[in-house]
Amino acid sequence: MHEAAKAFPAAGHDHDDCVAQAIESAEVLCGDRGLRFTALRRRVLTLVWDSHKPVGAYDILDRFREEGRKAAPPTVYRALDFLIEAGLVHRLDSLNAYIGCPDPARSHTGQFLICRQCRTVAELDDPEIDAMVRKKAGQLGFTAVHQMLEIQGLCNECRSRG
């Protein structure tokens, strides 16, 4: 894997720390950029980071209902749009779901390894892949504006289980 790869989480890692770091990064980033990090946006980001698996907007709505909160789909989608624009989450088109960004302070394209079995996601963020796609697109007279590469397969843990 490339040195910028964000590996699948190791068994037994402190996931609460992942969530806390994501929220702390969001507070700093929003503060530095003059963006409003409201309680609703904070809760949506927390729910996205609740696991290393992609989460859909309706999954978030279900969690809100379980918590006794009232939220309509447009409210959650607006919060997710804000989080995407701020670089705090990525949208995985193939799954129609969202995943937290481990490096929101730096603008980057994403390459994602998605386990078909457990749905865990790892973000590669490999500049060599980005450069190759731009080069190949340019050779065809195409200017790549936004890149998101989603690769589905099996993570090491699921592959080991057979």
For residue 3, what pLDDT is reported? 39
Give Cα separations from 100 to 5, 20, 38, 140, 160 (angstroms): 14, 12, 17, 33, 26
Instruction: Report which secondary-structure segment, H or E, holds 150.
Output: strand 148-153
| 6 belongs to a structural domain | no
81: left (phi over 0), alpha (psi -120 to 50) or beta: alpha
- Judge whether 2 lies within some domain: no
* Tens digit of each residue's pLDDT (9 = 90 or more) over 103-161: 888 777 789 999 999 988 888 888 899 899 999 999 999 998 888 899 999 999 899 99
pTM: 0.84
pLDDT, average across residues 85-114 = 89
Given a contact cutoff of 8 angstroms between Cβ atoms, the answer to whether 101 and 90 are in contact is yes
Looking at the domain assignment, is residue 4 inside a domain? no
The CATH code of the domain that includes 66 is 1.10.10.10
Q: Which domain holds residue 134?
A: 15-161
